[in-house]
Amino acid sequence: MNSSISQYGDVFVGRQPILGTNMKTMGYELLYRNCEIGQAIFNNEDLATATVLLNTYLDIGLEHVVGSHLAFLNIPKQFLLERYCEALPKNRVVLEILENVLPTPQAIEALTSLSQQGYTIALDDFVYEESFKPFLELADLVKVDVLGKSEEQLSHEVSQLRDFRVRLLAEKVESPEMYNICKKLGFYYFQGFFFFRPDIIRGREIPTNRIALLELMGKIQNPHVPFKELVEHIRNDLSLSYKVLRYVNSAFVGLPKRVDSIEHAACMVGIDRIRTWATLIIMASDQTQAHEILVIALVRAKMCERLGHQLGAQAPEKFFTMGLLSVLEALYSSPMGDILDKLPLPDDIVDALALGTGEMGLVLSCVMAHEKGEWMELKHLQLDPPIIRECYLESIDWANHFSPMIA
């Protein structure tokens, strides 16, 4: 098989979060497509699976793609029957058996062996049929596509699965309303960008406490604020000051000696890094949305910066700020325009965030397309696909190291 795989070269690797009822991320489904321009899918699904496994597990390292979380991997028929799954670390993966794998004696035997070895098995895009009972008796999770279905339809599907010891995972959950329906029906895990689409009502006032946070963020992000004034803004907020110093003194930064003041911290690591960290701390405070939003903000920020650098932008750090702030609408449940009115940002960042225009807007739209696995949109960047892939992998690796400090 390895000699055949080589013809496919690099792949785009993406991930989509899977959250629990506590809104905490428990895993990521890995997405993958061939990097060749104009080729959106593999001709052979087993080669696709083999390629992504080689790239993520043997070459890149699974921990760099999903961190400490579980990796959900699509497992097609031949890959299952040939027992290639047994080369994967059972404590790091969830094996998603594709919907076109039929419960033949050979498939049941292979699944039985995997279950006995301790692998977690999920049935993907599952629709109940009597013949699939042997699969249900071996599975740990059942993934149900909920897109476009009514509560009555989902209730019927759930009732068919109640006699089996499986946990239900709702996929393609695209709105808070559908999330609430699925949660009420007993779904345990949720996949989709519902947590990124709050109920935004135009004209609704931003709560006073959040206005105060935005004002503080605006003072920190204002490029015209003098150094001493910026330091004073951070120092006057005790919680913010404490967290910034905790970050600067962490092993992640790796300073040779302890730093005890914001002024000293800014001199040691640079004012731009202090701005970034303080902004992120403010975004993480007093918000009830999923922590995954902040993880996405980190990945977007770093990837926008890396792509800006690859495109020869004069100020790639502005691309970082744009990516970081692109999640504000989801965090504050307010229209982006209303939020930007309270932030003294450069015009090009405002235009990119509000209108998606300019080079920065193009980069942000492509990064967001990458999140959804819309790979063909990436051609607008006019960069070699392997470069985009490496920018993404570097970004999630950086976010994996950075995000625990804002938990």
Domain with CATH 3.20.20.450 in the chain: 2-196
Highest mean pLDDT pick, 85-99, 190-204, 241-255, 267-281: 85-99
Name the residue type at position 359.
E
Say whether 211 sits in a helix, a strand or coil.
helix
2-196 fold: TIM Barrel (3.20.20)
Q: What percent of the chain has pLDDT over 70?
A: 86
Residue-wise pLDDT for 129-144, tens only, equals 999 999 999 999 999 9
CATH classification code of 208-406: 1.10.3210.10
Check residue 343 and give left, alpha or beta (phi > 0: left; psi -120 to 50: alpha).
beta
Q: Find the range with the poorest average confidence among 18-27, 173-182, 219-228, 342-351.
A: 219-228
What's the whole-number mean pLDDT along residues 81-99? Answer: 90
pLDDT at 162: 92
Per-chain mean pLDDT for the chain: 86
Are 183 and 21 in contact by the 8 Å Cβ rule? The answer is yes
pLDDT at 3: 31
Q: What is the enclosing helix (H) or strand (E) of 29?
A: strand 25-34
Domain with CATH 1.10.3210.10 in the chain: 208-406
In which band, very low, low, confident or very high, does the pLDDT at 198 lie, cut at 50, 70 and 90?
A: low
What's the whole-number mean pLDDT along residues 336-365? Answer: 93
pLDDT at 57: 58
Top pLDDT among 4 and 64 is at 64
pLDDT at 60: 62
Residues whose CB is less than 8 angstroms from the CB of residue 257 and which lie 6 or more positions away in sequence, other chains included: none
Contacts 24+ apart (CB under 8 A), 99-107: 99/123, 99/124, 99/125, 99/126, 99/127, 100/76, 101/75, 101/76, 101/77, 102/77, 102/131, 103/131, 103/132, 103/134, 103/135, 106/81, 107/77, 107/80, 107/81, 107/135
pLDDT at 284: 85
Q: Find the range with the poorest average confidence among 5-19, 167-181, 191-205.
A: 5-19
Say whether 190 sits in a helix, a strand or coil.
strand
Question: Where do we find the tokens 């235009």?
Answer: 351
**Gap between the Cα atoms of 34 and 52, Å rounded:** 9
Model pTM? 0.86
Residue-wise pLDDT for 37-68, tens only, equals 444 444 566 666 666 665 555 556 777 788 88
Top pLDDT among 62 and 297 is at 297
What's the whole-number mean pLDDT along residues 168-191? Answer: 95
Asked whether the predicted pLDDT for residue 274 surpasses 90, the reply is no
Asked whether the predicted pLDDT for residue 282 surpasses 60, the reply is yes
